[in-house]
Chains A and B, each alone.
Chain A
Amino acid sequence: MQKRTLLLLRFVLILSTILVMTYSERDLNIASPGYAVALAYFISNLALYLIPETKFAVPAVSFAIFLTDLVAVSLAIYLSQGIQTDFYLIFFLIIFIASFAQDIRGSIPIAIVASIVYTWLVYRFNPGVSLMDSAILIKVPFLFIVSLISSYWATATRREIMERRKLETSARKLEDEVARITAEETELRRYSEMVINCVASGVIVVKDDGTITTINPEAARVLGVDQRDLTGRNIKSTQSLDMLWQKMAQAMNTNRSMERLQISIRNADNELVPIGLSLSPMHSPNTELSGCVGILRDLTEVKELERKLQHAERLSYLGKMATWVAHEIRNPLTAIDGFSQLLSYTRDPEKIEAFSKEIHRGTRRINHIIEDILTFARTRTRSGAVEIDLHRLMTEITEDIANVRVFIDGTAGAVVRGEEESLKSLFTNIITNSVEAMDKDPKIVVRFSKTKNWIVTEIVDNGRGISAENMQNLITPFFTTKSRGTGLGLAIVKKIVDDYQGKIEIKSEEGKGTTCRVYLPTQEDK
């Protein structure tokens, strides 16, 4: 029991004592000794305020206090001659307070002492009283009963209070824990949001039903939408994101990541924005967590750079071409011009014929150069696509080659859809390169094979091969190692192969020969 409560109850006790005393004397006589005791009792209680709280917790101290109470009350009864009065009730109060302050171990001794003091008082005022008198037979056991009941009640109440306090404490701890976890979670969410917002790429996350759970500022910028508007809404409700949703749905349905996709999305200004896209589906038994993560990149600048690069390359080609044309055409032109000058000085028919031949040779050479330029510059027309048997084409190309052994084998079903002219140009250039690279025992082997997607034409020669240094410049337009080459041959080959959406592989070993593999798509139905 707290010091304050105990002392307060003692004041009630003192007041009750004074009250009963005054009532039993039927008169207020301040000078009577009972009042002196009550006053001392009152002052002693005030003095107890000076004792520190901790002392009250010591059982001996509180026991002494209650003994003092018994003595004081008994003394007051004794001095006021009031055993016949209601002083008896005061004992109940003491026992009651003692039960409160301590448990049954405190209240029972107090009850015993109270019973002894009370019995002594009864005997003192009624010397011949029987043990069977109600004053003893009823009242003494009653003191014990009250002591037991109040102790039991006080203990129960104390336990209840303690339990409630314990509960309150653990509830408070729980509350603190919840608050801490909530704060941590908020911090974590803010942190991950910050990370996602900082990422230079666009990030968009949707659930499998299309609800947007995350969209970072870069994604909103790239897609031309308002970030706050879109979070929590369904992607399907924004028409401009239809293409994005289709791809995301595809990734989720197939449960496969999709890398390096390119889509175009119309932004708020109605401009088509090229977007690079990588999609990763998220799968979880809990559908709440199933969805798709999209990483976006604005390709506008990349495309612009590509365009500029292509432009620069074109300009560079043009520059090279101009130089090349100057040189290549001027040589035959010089011959034509020179021999025609010589024609005017000679009458010798033999010379006239020889000079005319040279003039003709010069014009043919110029024409050849122009053909090459045109082939290189021409874009492939799709309209003339027919089925072409490469086996037949290759036979035609190689049959006119003198002094070179040519072997053609492999699948007879090497058929592609395309134009005769471009394919002829493609293989003629490769074969010409081989023929010009071979010195002794020239031999070319052409093999056809077929895979699921490709018709492969392999052309192997036993020529000089290509040095590692020249390999790097192999398809650069106007690069040549031949004295008469235009430098356009392999550039033309590459261009035609690209037009057919095919590919070319060239492997070479200096001094041993070159192997050239051309892959053309099996079905060119576009």
Chain B
Amino acid sequence: MTPINPAGDDAPVLEPGLTKKRILICDDEEPIRLLLAEALQDSYDIVEAANGRDALRLATKEHIDLIIIDIKMPQVHGLEAIERIRERDSNVPIIICSAYPLMEDDIVVKTSDIAAFITKPIDIESLKSRITELIGR
């Protein structure tokens, strides 16, 4: 099993306008990234980031259609990453996928127009349908 677009400086930069929409998966847990990639790679291009800093870098550098992001992460924390992504792009849909419940109360979450909250463990079918609702296939 090979992740489609592992996070890193040498990751191929894909141009927008291709048939597949692009999703950025940001989670410090490798198994979770693998799982989401496996679940979504048939319908979408997947870009991965292992921490908030890489997520920010990728979100700036590339065209991203949707972001799935964890909250508790080393280096740049998930909430900080969301805040900074929103500073640049107010439209990209963001899905928070966290092991912590009740993230809705956080001030950053409230002001950042979060498209969906998913609490781990994940129901893959409902995640897929939510993504389809947001950006289509």
| Residues from chain A with Cβ under 8 Å of B101 in the complex | 326
B98 to chain A, nearest CB (A): 8
| Residues from chain B with Cβ under 8 Å of A342 in the complex | 35, 38-39, 124
Task: Please tell me the number of chain B residues within 8 Å of chain A, measured between CB atoms.
Answer: 24
**Stretch of A132-140, A196-204, A332-340 at the chain-chain interface:** A332-340
B74: interface (CB < 8 Å): yes
A420: interface (CB < 8 Å): no
A358 touches B99 (CB 8 A): no
B12: interface (CB < 8 Å): no
Which residue on A lies nearest to B74, using beta carbons?
A483
CA distance A328 to B28 in the complex (A): 12
B31 touches A327 (CB 8 A): no
A84: interface (CB < 8 Å): no
A335 touches B29 (CB 8 A): yes
Enumerate B23-77 residues with CB–CB distance to A below 8 Å: 28-29, 31-32, 34-36, 38-39, 50-51, 72-74
B41 to chain A, nearest CB (A): 11
- Identify B1's interface contact among A328, A334, A354, A362, CB under 8 A: A354
B29 touches A331 (CB 8 A): yes
CA distance A335 to B1 in the complex (A): 15
CA distance A351 to B125 in the complex (A): 18
| Residues from chain A with Cβ under 8 Å of B17 in the complex | none
CA distance A500 to B88 in the complex (A): 56
Proximity bits, B71-110, A CB within 8 Å = 1, else 0: 0111000000000000000000000000111000000000
B120: interface (CB < 8 Å): yes
CA distance A252 to B30 in the complex (A): 69
Which residue on A lies nearest to B2, using beta carbons?
A354
| Residues from chain A with Cβ under 8 Å of B73 in the complex | 483
A341 touches B124 (CB 8 A): yes
A330 touches B120 (CB 8 A): yes
Known: A358-B31, A483-B28. A338 touches B122 (CB 8 A): yes
| Residues from chain A with Cβ under 8 Å of B122 in the complex | 334, 337-338
A337 touches B121 (CB 8 A): yes
CA distance A483 to B31 in the complex (A): 13
Which residue on B lies nearest to A480, using beta carbons?
B74
A369 to chain B, nearest CB (A): 13
| Residues from chain A with Cβ under 8 Å of B34 in the complex | 335, 358
- Identify A358's interface contact among B35, B72, B100, B124, CB under 8 A: B35
- Identify A338's interface contact among B1, B28, B121, CB under 8 A: B121
Most chain-B Cβ atoms within 10 A of its Cβ — which of A338, A355, A361, A483? A338
Most chain-A Cβ atoms within 10 A of its Cβ — which of B29, B34, B72, B123? B29
A332 touches B31 (CB 8 A): yes
CA distance A327 to B121 in the complex (A): 10
| Residues from chain A with Cβ under 8 Å of B50 in the complex | 483
B55 to chain A, nearest CB (A): 14
B99 touches A326 (CB 8 A): yes
B120 touches A333 (CB 8 A): yes
Known: A341-B124, A354-B1. A335 touches B99 (CB 8 A): no
Which residue on B lies nearest to A326, using beta carbons?
B99
Known: A326-B100, A354-B1. A331 touches B124 (CB 8 A): no
CA distance A245 to B73 in the complex (A): 61
CA distance A362 to B120 in the complex (A): 14
| Residues from chain B with Cβ under 8 Å of A328 in the complex | 99
| Residues from chain B with Cβ under 8 Å of A341 in the complex | 39, 123-125
- Identify A339's interface contact among B35, B120, B125, CB under 8 A: B35
Proximity bits, A346-385, B CB within 8 Å = 1, else 0: 0000110011001001100000000000000000000000
CA distance A86 to B37 in the complex (A): 161
| Residues from chain A with Cβ under 8 Å of B39 in the complex | 338, 341-342
| Residues from chain A with Cβ under 8 Å of B125 in the complex | 341
A331 touches B1 (CB 8 A): no
Enumerate A458-503 residues with CB–CB distance to B below 8 Å: 481-484
| Residues from chain B with Cβ under 8 Å of A323 in the complex | 100
CA distance A330 to B38 in the complex (A): 19
Of all A-B residue pairs in the complex, the 8 with the closest CB atoms, nearest first, are: A335-B31, A330-B99, A337-B121, A334-B120, A338-B35, A334-B121, A354-B1, A327-B99
Given contacts A334-B35, A341-B125, 5 further A-B contacts (CB under 8 A): A331-B29, A338-B32, A341-B39, A481-B74, A483-B51
17 residue pairs bridging A and B, Cβ less than 8 Å apart? A323-B100, A326-B100, A327-B72, A330-B99, A330-B120, A331-B31, A334-B120, A334-B122, A337-B121, A338-B36, A341-B123, A341-B125, A342-B38, A342-B39, A351-B38, A354-B1, A483-B74
**Partner-A contacts on B (CB < 8 A):** 1, 28-29, 31-32, 34-36, 38-39, 50-51, 72-74, 99-101, 120-125
